[in-house]
Amino acid sequence: MSEITSATISVTVIPKSSRSAITIKDDAVRVYLNSPPVDGKANTECIKLFSKKLRVPKSAITIIRGEKGRKKELRIENLTTAEVMERL
């Protein structure tokens, strides 16, 4: 029986930024998004950005905490936390 792995990472989102990017400073993950935090647009862009950067399908990424706030917790299926940090 195979063990299902998933990573949970905490991110701080900065919406309405001039660029879309993911940065890591002192083990804190910051996500800069072009989208405004309206109608879930920022959340959609956040998932799309992580999907592209980590090379995983968008369906493998879920926001498990902070749907409406700047501090979010993301779960990424099929990767360990170490693999996620390495790919970022």
Range of the domain at 32: 6-87
Q: What per-residue confidence (pLDDT) applies to 79?
A: 96
Average pLDDT estimate for 42-54: 98
Residue 33 lies in a domain: yes
Q: Please write the tens of the pLDDT for every residue from 33-47.
A: 999 999 999 999 999
Residue 72 lies in a domain: yes
Residue 1 lies in a domain: no
Residue 15 lies in a domain: yes
Pairing of strands 21-25, 61-65: unpaired
Q: What per-residue confidence (pLDDT) applies to 2?
A: 58
Residues written for the chain = 88
Residue 42 lies in a domain: yes
In order of 20, 53, 56, 79, 81, the CA distances from 16 in angstroms are 9, 20, 25, 29, 27
Q: How confident is the model at residue 3 (pLDDT cuts 50, 70, 90)?
A: confident
Question: What is the domain-level CATH number for residue 46?
Answer: 3.30.1200.10
Entry pTM? 0.93
Report the domain count for the chain. 1
